[in-house]
Amino acid sequence: MDEQTSTSASPLNNESRRRRFEDSGKRVCREARAFGNALQEAIVDLEGTLREQLEQRPYVTLATAAGLGYVLGGGLASRFSKVLLNLGTRLAVAVMLRELTGEIGAHTV
């Protein structure tokens, strides 16, 4: 008798599982489309920002891209690279501080 009950309940249970599976698949598709759209918008925004930076500060943008490519390419493995990065960072901070103090001085005069 238990076999008949489990056998007769099985098609209903399978149908319920199939519907839940379909619903989950549809939900995943909707969320994937929304994620794709959001990602596409972010890429467009990033492209606009990069173009703006390239027009305003072409040398800084080029140096940033070169440095990023160097790091991603595995260039930081050597001791010499680490020394160069340290030196470059100190130089960048010094230039930034000089510009900031120049701007502050210009506003107070």
Q: Could you tell me the pTM of the whole model?
A: 0.44
pLDDT of the residue at 9: 52
pLDDT, averaged per 10 consecutive residues of the chain (109 residues), comes to 50 84 91 92 89 86 83 74 84 84 63
Are residues 53 and 60 in contact, defined by beta-carbon separation less than 8 angstroms?
A: yes
Q: Which two tokens stand for residue 30?
A: 């909707």
Domain spans of the chain, in order of start: 1-56, 58-109
| CA contacts within 13 A on the Cβ side of 99 | 6
